[in-house]
Amino acid sequence: MNIEQENTEKKGYFKALEGLKEAGLMSYVWAGPGKIIIDHTEVNPDFSGKGVGKALVLKAVDYARENKIKILPLCPYAKSVFDKDAGLSDVLF
């Protein structure tokens, strides 16, 4: 699975692809310099239970660490990933 990122001044997303098929999408909005809000995570039903949603959240965490930004996970799924793994707390705001 490949995860691509699209980023603009105001918003962006991470998209998981399996070949040419979209496996999942996680969107975010910028909340000022150095802060993003994850607002939605969606997984294609064909890929349910295969870890796509978690892979998208972890890709956002990697991006946050590399770029010294913080994340607010408003999306219930993303929040649950953060709640279950204390090792991700360094990127929370």
Number of domains composing the chain: 1
Tokens of 56: 């998208």
- CA distance to 39, 45, 47, 79, 85, per residue, from 12 (Å): 10, 22, 22, 18, 24
Query: Can you give the pLDDT at residue 13?
Result: 98
Contact 13, 25 (CB under 8 A): yes
CATH, residue 64: 3.40.630.30
For the stretch 63-90, pLDDT in tens is 999 999 999 999 999 999 999 999 999 9
Query: How confident is the model over 17-73, as pLDDT tens digits?
Result: 999 999 999 999 999 999 999 999 999 999 999 999 999 999 999 999 999 999 999
pLDDT at 50: 96
Q: How many CB atoms lie within 10 A of CB 20?
A: 5
What is the CA angle 90-92-93, rounded to 5? 125
Question: Looking at residue 54, what is its pLDDT?
Answer: 98
Whole-number pLDDT of residue 7: 95
Whole-number pLDDT of residue 71:
98
Give the structural domain span for 75: 2-91
d(CA 34, CA 20): 32
